[in-house]
Amino acid sequence: MRLKNLIISTIIFLAASQSTFSQQANSSQFKFIDSLLSKDSYRVELLNIERKPPAVRATGSVQVNRNANVITFSTSDKSLEFLESFKIDLQNEMVLFKNDTLPFLDEVYMPSSVFGEWNGYTWLKTTSNTDQNEVIIIDKQTKKSTQVDVGKIKSTNKILLRINSKELVQGRPKAQFTVSCYLN
């Protein structure tokens, strides 16, 4: 009986320790994001990523709004309106885009990319009509995936914001949205 209680106590202790570690690890990316987006406004360079290196295709400005622990953006530039549907919830450690909640995925270090070397964080949400163990039939597949990356370019110190959203319905692309921009 004592051995059983000792094992249960150890499991509870380890679970609590892991939970505390995970909370501390997750909060570090939001401290990074909070410090990264410290200005009230940014000059935005909307990028054409089909060219290597990416070329600036439009510029504008964006206001950074802070309401408690939520960062939102506002702009009068038509080409940057997508930023108004992008929110960072620092307290709950998540990103919201077009009313979709994206959980934190991982820290990212890219030693080589079309943007050069950069490091930051990724949030990802994927939904599908199939289970993990189910056989996938392509022409019946319905899937939606949204990924957000926020980081800092090493060579320029510019902030990179990249949003990629894809949707398949019955195995056919319904929508795809990819945008990359620098904030500086």
Closest CA to 162 of 92, 90, 110, 89: 110
Location of structure tokens 């909060």: 27
Sign of CA dihedral 159, 72, 65, 107: negative
pLDDT of residue 181: 92
pTM reported for the whole predicted model: 0.74
Residue 80 C-alpha from the chain's centroid: 18
Residues whose CB falls within 8 Å of the CB of residue 86, separated by 6 or more in sequence, listed in order: 72, 73, 95, 96, 97, 148, 161, 163
pLDDT of residue 6: 33
pLDDT of residue 53: 80
Residue range 139-174, pLDDT digits in tens: 777 788 899 999 999 999 999 999 998 888 877 778
Residue 53: is the preceding peptide bond cis (ω within 30°)?
yes
Residues whose CB falls within 8 Å of the CB of residue 90, separated by 6 or more in sequence, listed in order: 30, 33, 34, 69, 70, 71
Question: Domain spans of the chain?
Answer: 2-183
Distance CA 168, CA 129 (A): 10
